[in-house]
Each structure stands twice: as structure tokens, then as C-alpha cells.
Amino acid sequence: MSDSETAPSAGPQAASAMPQDAPALPAEARKIASGYAFTGPALDLGALLWDGRCHAGAPVRVPLSVLGRHGLVAGATGTGKTKTLQLIAEQLSARGVPVFLADIKGDLSGIARPGQRSDRVRERSGEVGQAWAPAGFPAEFLALGGLGHGVPVRATVTSFGPVLLAKALQLNRTQEQSLGLIFHYADTKGLELIDLKDLRAVVAFLTSDEGRAELGDIGGLSRATAGVILRSLTAFEAQGMADFFGEPEFDTADLLRTAEDGRGVVSVLELPAVQEKPLLFSTFLMWLLADLFHDLPEIGDADKPKLVFFFDEAHLLFHGASRAFLDSITQTVRLIRSKGVGVFFVTQTPKDVPGDVLAQLGNRVQHALRAFTPDDDKALRATVQTFPRSAYDLGELLTGLGTGEAVVTVLGESGAPTPVAATRLRAPESLMGPVDAAELDRAVRASVLHDRYAQAVDRESAYERLSAARPQEPAREPEPTARRAPRAPRAAEEEPSLVEQVVHSPMFRSLARSVGTQLGREITRSLFGTARRRR
């Protein structure tokens, strides 16, 4: 995006800068403005829009202390959501709060460089009463599996866990439950699942003649389900996904760093190289969040968050998700607040986010919506219903906002929602656009994380151990069952109902919570089934 993101537009709320002798705000507008007059540290979002005028003397702000209460940034394509992320990230960094940004389109890398003065920036800053000055912020560039420009971010298969991996592989509920059995077996036998070939080897072993009895006491693994899992893994690898799983595994504690001058480090996960694999990057982002939840101590309410995590293209995470997966997301978002992590979901409309999750998002920045089709109109009406009652006609307002304008409501210092405020947003002070690839590569090589994560490592794990035990029979996909009715009542890939009964039984849940393996490694699993060694 360019500096034109911040230019005012000719919507119903558009107006020129307020002159010094502008009339005082009417009573309703004063009431709105008073809702944003906080006494403690706060981030400046912009200035109040009322009756076609931008009032620089009525700033719209969000208290720093409530940014751990999560939030939503929504709006149609091209309305300025990305610049809103950049604006909030800059101010968080300046306040010493680390930030994580998922850069889907590749245009957030400019946060590391000072912005450029322009007529549009001067016009916008004058309208909202902003003392704009160019500034760059400490940034770390990451890339999934090293695909693209960034320090490689990898996860072991064990750490990723069965629930998130099942989502990435698009397995159904029964297959997900069977995958959970496989992970449990690997945990108890000390078979390290580092990369995808380790998982393939364990699945093949458990359906072989010598391995089939291993899961007999807790339901077993059918050849049909194993075949589906292995075929999904093969397709997954064929799309180039194997590089994302392995070692050295990324330590999410590295997202919590501050620079020498005390500013929070902005970790930018560069994702343009995997834009065509949205399911993968959405589940990987959830892994990062689940791993943070697993490792961080409880701190309760704090003066400022330890990290604010921006989850872009959030609708991809929820699309097609199982009930168990959605329950895990809801629980993680609910509980991670007490660990000092704020989560902002970024998507087009609030209806992209399940109601149980949306109810936990206390801070809202809603950019313009378009109503060109009946579905658009339905989404608009649903969005209006998610806001508190306001002094605006929100249906008309949301379709008339210009680029860089939004409807805002946040949690005040007392925890109560602020009045809904139409807002013209400030201009980011860093570069509003990407830096070139050569500059990104130089920044990556200079990173303190580069030497730690750049070189992949392939140590002995489940594949090597099982191959050594069975040198004459390499891991392969099992043959499907020879005789099967062409129209079975259940899908061919599904297990008998016994598996569901076993997975939900107290015995299995107890086994899944077991700690320790034959190798002496200590494993615990979070709400998503993610796990790693205790550090």
C-alpha cells in the first residue's frame, strides 16, 4: 500500500481540517469525546468525526492496559486495515511492548524504516492533530520454513500436535481422533516426531503386522484411516510443506524481546511466499499462539501487555474448523489474556469470527463495508448488530467511511466499553509500503536469530529408529482393505464408532496427559494438543 491509504476521501464523513475557530462540539459529540479522555497511558488512534467534520481537539484513544483484552480490526479490502495494524504496532513498540505481525501481502516490512513526508501525510496529520515525524522501529523478519525473506520458523511435528496438524491436513473428526492416538503412541514410546517422515514411519508401523497390536488396548488404527492420513501427508509434502516441520524449532520466547533502547521488537512474519497455502499459515499462527499459552506464566491484569499478536486473514482459521478446534481457539483466547498476551483478529467482517470468540474481543476498529450484493447487505446488518447502541446511523456510516476512517469502540480504563466513535485515523510514521528484497535479506543475515535458526538439522528420530528396527521393510502406505461394500453406511475413510468412544474415555484422556517417555523427555500438551519439551 502507498501513502494514499491515509488520504481523506469524499464519503459522508469526509471533511477538511477543522479551523481554529471551529464551533464547539454539540452535546452528543462531547459525550462521545469524553469517553476517550483517559488518565493513564494510551495509544492515539485518530480524531472524532461528527457531522461531516474531523475534530482534532477530540482525540480517539485506547488505553495501553486494555490491549491485552484482545480486539478486532475489520473492513472491506482496500479500506486501510493494514495501515491500522501498522499504526497500532508502532505505538506499542514505542511503549516497550513487543508485537507480532503476520504480513500476508508483504507490505508491512516498511515498519523498520522511517516514513516519507508527502502532501497527503501532511494533510492527514493536520486534520487529526498529529505531530507527525518519520520513525523506524526495531523489527525482526521471519519466514515459515525459510520460504521467503526471513529467519526460518519451524516446528517439530510433536510440538505442532494432532489437532492443528489435522486442521492443516483437512482431516475429518474421526481421522483427527486417530491421529491423536498415533501421537499418544509416539509420546509413550519415546519416538520423536521431528518432521513429516517421522510421522509417516509411525503410521506405517502401526498398521504393519508387527505394529498393529500396539494400539489394540485403546482402539487400534484401521488401514483405511491410516491410508487417508498417509495420502494427506503425501499431498502436503508435494505442496512443499515439508520444510515447515523440523529443527531447530522456533522458540516463541524470541517474540517477547525488546531492543536496547527499550522499544518492543516488532516480529514480522513474511507470508507472501505462502499466500496460496492459507490453511497452513493460519494453523501455524495458531501454533505460535498455543505455544505462547503453554510456556508463559500467569500474570493477571497488567499495566501493559507482554505481547500483542495480530492474526491477519482470521477467517481462514475458522473456515471448515471442527467443533473441537473452535472450542480450543475459544479457550486459548479466553485464557491467554491472563498471561499478558493480547490477540487482534484481522478480517473483513465480524461474522467471520465465531460468536464465542467475538464476545472476547473488547477493542474494535471497524473500517468501511461495501453493500453491493444481498450477501454484503446481510453482512452489514450483522456487523451493525455487534456494536453497542450509538449516536450514529451505523448502517449508513459504515458504507460511507473513506479509506483510513473507521468506527471505533474500545474498553475504557474501568473495563466498560467506550461510546462508538467515527474516527479519522492517524498516519503511520514508518514507511507505508515494503522495503526491497535485498534490504530484507541484509536485515535477516544481521539478525541475532539467524545463526540459531538458519541451518536445518536432521537428527535421529522416529524414522531412523523404526528403519533400524525394520531394515528390510521401509515405511510405506498400507494397502486398503481388500473387501469393502461399495456403499457403506459410513465413509470409507472413517473408523468404527469404537474409536470415538475410546478417545473420549477417561482412560485415554489420562494417558494423553501422561508426562515422560522411555527417552526420559517430559511432554505436556496444551489445549490444541501442542507439546514441547520443558525448557
Q: Is it the case that residue 523 has pLDDT exceeding 70?
A: no
Mean predicted confidence (pLDDT) in 400-413: 95
pLDDT for 450 equals: 95
What is the per-residue pLDDT across 292-302, written as a single tens digit (0 to 9) for each? 888 899 988 88
Q: Which amino acid, residue 398?
A: L
Distance CA 241, CA 231 (A): 14
| 150-201: pLDDT as tens digits | 999 999 999 999 988 998 888 988 899 999 999 999 998 999 999 999 999 9
- What cell was used for 513? 496427559
Distance in Å from the first CA to the final CA of the chain? 41
Confidence class for position 479, pLDDT limits 50, 70, 90: low
Would you state the cell numbers that stand for residue 487, as one nine-digit string? 456403499
Q: HSE, CB side, 13 Å, CA atoms: give it for residue 413.
A: 13
pLDDT value for 489: 42
The listed range with the strongest mean pLDDT (11-15, 316-320, 390-394) is 390-394
More reliable by pLDDT, 10 or 250:
250
What's the whole-number average pLDDT of the chain? 83
pLDDT at 427: 96
* Closest by CA position to 424, among listed 18, 27, 110, 60: 60
E strand segments, 322-383: 341-347, 363-366
Give me the DSSP letters along 452-486: HHSS-B--S-HHHHHHHH-TTS---PPPPPS---T
Average pLDDT value for residue range 411-427: 95
Q: Is 153 helix (H, G, I), strand (E, B) or coil?
A: strand
User: pLDDT band at 329, cuts 50/70/90?
Assistant: confident
With residue 101 as reference, give the H or E element that holds it.
Answer: strand 99-103
| 280 Rama class: left (phi>0) / alpha (psi -120 to 50) / beta | alpha
Give the per-residue pLDDT at 453. 95
Q: Give me the count of residues in the chain.
A: 535
In the prediction, which pLDDT does 304 show? 94
Report the distance separating Cα 38 and Cα 92, nearest Å. Answer: 17
In terms of pLDDT, which residue wins out, 355 or 241?
Answer: 355
The pLDDT of residue 425 is: 97
- 435 vs 220: which has the higher pLDDT: 435
Q: Could you tell me the pLDDT band of residue 35, with boundaries at 50, 70 and 90? A: very high
pLDDT of residue 39: 93
- CA 317 to chain centroid: 8
318 contacts 326 by C-beta, under 8 angstroms = yes
- Short-list 71, 3, 507, CA closest to 305: 71
Contact partners, residue 534, CB within 8 Å, separation at least 6: 522, 524
The answer to whether residue 481 scores a pLDDT higher than 50 is no
Residue 89 near residue 101, CB atoms below 8 Å: yes
The confidence score (pLDDT) of residue 285 equals 84
- Rounded Cα gap, residues 45 and 406, in angstroms: 10
Q: How far is CA 106 from CA 52, 142, 449, in A?
A: 34, 12, 21
Least-confidence region, from 42-46, 170-174, 358-362, 481-485: 481-485
Compute φ and ψ for 411, nearest 5 degrees.
-85, 130
Phi-psi region of 243 (alpha: psi -120 to 50; beta: other; left: phi over 0): alpha
User: Which residue in the block uniquely carries the three cell numbers 470409507?
Assistant: 492
How many Å apart are CA 511 and CA 508, to the nearest integer?
5
Percent of the chain with pLDDT over 70: 83
Is the pLDDT reported for residue 131 higher than 60?
Answer: yes
Instruction: Identify residue 467 by its one-letter amino acid code.
Output: S
For residue 176, the tally of other CB atoms under 10 A from its CB is: 21
**pLDDT for residue 477:** 55
pLDDT band of 44, cuts 50, 70, 90: very high
Given pLDDT bands bounded at 50, 70 and 90, which one contains residue 506? Answer: very low
- Provide the residue type at 422 as one letter: A
Look at 31-45, 107-121, 230-244 and tell me which has the smallest mean pLDDT: 230-244
Does the pLDDT at position 149 exceed 50?
yes
Instruction: Identify the pLDDT of residue 318.
Output: 84
Query: Domains (ranges, CATH) in the chain?
Result: 3-138+261-442 (3.40.50.300)
CA atoms of 157 and 229, how far apart (whole Å): 14
Contact 88, 309 (CB under 8 A): no
Better pLDDT: 211 or 512: 211
Mean pLDDT (whole number) for 97-109:
91
Neighbours of 21 (CB within 10 A): 5
CA distances from 157 to 147, 193, 450, 533 (A): 18, 5, 22, 13
Whether 499 shows a pLDDT value over 60: the answer reads no
Close Cβ partners of 299 (under 8 Å, ≥ 6 residues apart): 306, 338, 339, 340
Kindly report the number of other CB atoms within 10 A of residue 512's CB atom.
17
